[in-house]
Structure 1
Amino acid sequence: MGSDRAGIGDKEAIAYIRQMLGELHNVAQREGADMLCYLIEMAYVEAGDVQAGRRPRSIMHAERDKSSGMTV
């Protein structure tokens, strides 16, 4: 199991991401941003699946968790 620079383990990082997605979903819902709500909800579900071990972290076979290169 790897960890990031702040010392957060892989499972804790995914849990944190999922928590933040839940908060973002609430903000998007208050703003009436239906498409954002949907996309955030999909990411929330995906994070839950990763947490539960139902999905791998990455769909890339040889390249674990590679970014798409998109800046946010």
Structure 2
Amino acid sequence: MIPILLEMAEWGAKYSDSAEQLPMEWLEVVRTRREEVIQIIRETVLQGGSIFAGENCVAARLLKDP
């Protein structure tokens, strides 16, 4: 399900007029490091973590790494 949800989020961000879009930096990471993102999401959620909220969330981990 994670790959499908990432595709849906990317599509929604691309075609949304909403001000609450995903940051372009996040979308670029998802596009270029997709398998790594999926693995980190799995690990984080299994440990009770979040994708966007908290200091150890997936987004924080990915956006601070090169």
- TM-score class, shorter: 0.3 to 0.5
Structure possessing the higher radius of gyration over alpha carbons: 1
TM-score (norm 1): 0.36
TM-score (norm 2): 0.38
